[in-house]
Amino acid sequence: MAIEGVQKTGLFFLPLRTEGALGAPVNTLSLTVYTPKSIVTGHSEVTQAVNPPLNVSSHVTGTLIYETVMGPGSKVRIDLTGWPEINWPAGAGVGPVIPENYSAIIVLEPDFSSGEIIYQYRTGLTGEWHQVRQKIVRNEAGQESLSKAA
């Protein structure tokens, strides 16, 4: 069921950032949302100030879903899957199969201003998955993330 009055009219940039307890991982997302086909692409970076520092960088793709939930109002859901960024040499042919290192379910308010995210990441190709649930807010100062998405 679609949210009434929502017009699927184009492409927009959606910078998001998680908020958690002090010292918890932080997930910075630089997403582009193409509403006519409900496609989301972009970049995710999970960081944490630990020793050694955590830095999981992923190219993400996913879908945009308008849904009605129990209780007041409706929500916007974004399902994402991510893979490590690979700098494959030009003309090098077909590369290896790379397993995913990131996945997320984001549930946002209809104006995309805030919501909640459940994401999981792993640091190696076969490493253990770590799951995190946090609040998410629109990262208005997300211009530092924009350069990484390009």
- The answer to the question of residue 149 being in a domain is no
Containing domain of residue 42, as a range?
Answer: 11-89+96-144
Residues 6+ apart with CB under 8 A from 61: 39, 40, 41, 80, 81, 82
Give the tens place of pLDDT for each residue, 28-59.
Answer: 999 999 999 999 999 999 999 888 899 999 99
- The answer to the question of residue 5 being in a domain is no
Task: Please check the confidence at residue 102 and state whether its pLDDT lies above 90.
Answer: yes
Into how many domains does the chain fold? 1
Farthest-apart Cα atoms in the chain, separation:
53
pLDDT of amino acid 148: 41
- The answer to the question of residue 1 being in a domain is no
Q: Which domain CATH number covers 111?
A: 2.40.128
- The answer to the question of residue 150 being in a domain is no
Give the tens place of pLDDT for each residue, 104-117.
Answer: 999 998 888 899 99
- The answer to the question of residue 4 being in a domain is no
- The answer to the question of residue 25 being in a domain is yes
pTM: 0.81
- The answer to the question of residue 6 being in a domain is no
The per-residue DSSP string of 12-61 comes to: EEEEEEEE-STTS-EEEEEEEEETTTTEEEEEEEEEE-SSSPEEEEEEEE
